[in-house]
Structure 1
């Protein structure tokens, strides 16, 4: 278990920053550009249209912190830690989103009971069942990453094995991108975002063991592929919403994301540690889960009656408050109980055994 002194407060702040970027992307750009909100923010969308890159930061952070969380843990303990971390807030997010959709938002979205039940598993992508909320797609990417980390815990996690695993994953990414491997292989490889997970893992290795030649090569290679894929992804997003993305801006944002996380790995952000950042980090996941469809429905319902800037500010504040309540009333009390339930119980001592 990490001591409080080892907590990386900067990552807590970066998580919330990434989530707010995604929130602004949805509320001030993709909502109206995609036909889910009548409230337009044409001027603001010139910069908020890049907010989806908050997801890229999420994936880079995930590579770092999930490997950190798994290091030294047995497979069961790792699985329990991920279930406890992900599911309580997720279940609440599904229920709230479904209820708001059924009662207020059927003109925008549709949900069914079988769809909700499938979503509760977080594996709805396997039978190709639609997400209750559009943002849940990233959880499927995360779950597949967790399976790879679980494999490391099963074979035994060492510095050498993790380094070999990262190079192998990067090599498979190149083979998928080159068309050498069939498309079905990308279900595991995730070439669209694998460079973020790999780079995050490499930066954790830098944080834990210090710099070596392999890390000095891995991170820049991942950065190059990240820029290449991010520009291609931006073109696809631009076609969807009929806007143009600047390759220069995309490149700059991706480089900054890598640079900031490198500073974290080098422990150069420790002086920025503030206790309130722990709360900021705790708000991130429930905020991400709750904001999209519920927010679109609120914008649709109130957009014609409330000043758009007042509505935007109020909506973000309400979502942050809701995220805080989910954290305090659901995650904090339920997580330890769920952990005790899922953790392996030690057998009771027999007669005469001293404990």
Structure 2
């Protein structure tokens, strides 16, 4: 068995790239296509409309790094690691988004006190309460994945159990897609994106233990299902925004996502790893949380005051600076405090520090 995995700096850079793809999708395409602003980027939208696939990359990364985070940890340690990682920046994101919405968001968005309070839990989807920001939907998907990983830590994580669990999850995915299982089962199975979580975990097993026949079979099956579901999802997105998506482009992007993560798992990309990429990774989660509704509102209020490309570049810079501020002045100071409050004295776990998804 290989030794404890080192930090994968290249994943930090990949995370920020995925986040910027989502930012460009919102700012260059969905903002005006969805009627949130009249600042239009018609020509650029031909490629920016594919930026939402950054979320698919996030989910694949999440499968990899969350298993890395859970390996060797007790259930309590895993929960503490997720709470410390997720909630401080998320609470700030809610506060900033709600404040900007109340002050400047008239005619675009609205929030209520009960809605904000429910969102603070990150479980607002359970009582079907609307998200304060549209991007929070991915956090509910991630949270359900974390619950499955928590169950794995309770059972005990071993190589054999993880591989058996991955095959079982993939089988349930196909049973949901075939209509054999009732729709409510998809609350747990998440067949729309489960192939990314499954493949990400399988690629971590490849990274940790090396290639075997199960991984060599599991990852391509997940890739096939990912392409199939991504094309169907693109059709739904196209109907929403009245555009068409190329199945060839969708397929190429999904295959590229899998290839890049496979190269990382095989350690092919180690020459690209640079310690400064940690900062890029640190910006990802707060950037993701802050950019959407706040950005739409600022675009709407500032449109006409600046050249649209200057406005676009300025907005991205402002959001990156705000993301760094959240990381530097909120996440870094609060993380050790929260960890001390939530932890109890116990032997240290032999687990690597993950460089995860937007929430990893």
TM-score normalised by structure 1 residue count: 0.96
Give the corresponding residue for 2:137.
137
How far the C-alpha of 1:6 sits from its partner, in A, is 1.0
2:302 counterpart residue number: 302
Greater alpha carbon shift after TM alignment, 4-13 vs 84-93? 4-13
Q: Deviations over 1:147-197 (max 9, x none)?
A: 111111000000000000000000000000000000000000000000000
Tell me the equivalent position of 2:219: 219
Structure number, greater radius of gyration: 1
User: Which residue in the other structure is 1:41 paired with?
Assistant: 41
3-state SS of the aligned residue for 1:227? helix
**Unaligned 5+ runs, structure 1:** 347-355
Aligned to 1:6, the other structure's residue is in SS state coil
Whether the 8 Å CA contact 2:22–2:52 is kept in 1: the answer is: yes
1:161 paired residue number = 161
> Following the alignment from structure 2 to structure 1, what is the Cα–Cα distance between the partners of residues 192 and 109?
28
Structure 2 portions without partners, runs of 5+: 347-360
| 1:80-102 Cα shifts (integer Å, max 9, x gaps) | 00000000000000000000000
- The structural deviation recorded for 1:274 is 1.1
Q: Does 1:234 align with 2:227?
A: no
2:355 maps to which residue?
none
1:268 aligns with 2:268: yes
1:4 CA drift (Å): 11
Cα separation, 2, equivalents of 1:116 and 1:5 = 39
Q: Which has the higher contact order (CA 8 A, sep 6+)?
A: 2
The aligned counterpart of 1:349 is none
RMSD of equivalent CA atoms: 1.1
After the TM superposition, which residues 52-67 of structure 1 pair with which residues of structure 2 at under 5 Å, given as runs? Answer: 52-67=52-67
Match of 1:100 in 2: 100
Give the Cα separation in 2 of the matches to 1:12 and 1:238.
Answer: 30
Deviation at 1:345, TM superposition (A): 4.1
Aligned residue runs from structure 1 range 1-355, under 5 A: 6-345=6-345
> Hey, what's the Cα distance between the residues in 1 that align with 2:4 and 2:146?
25
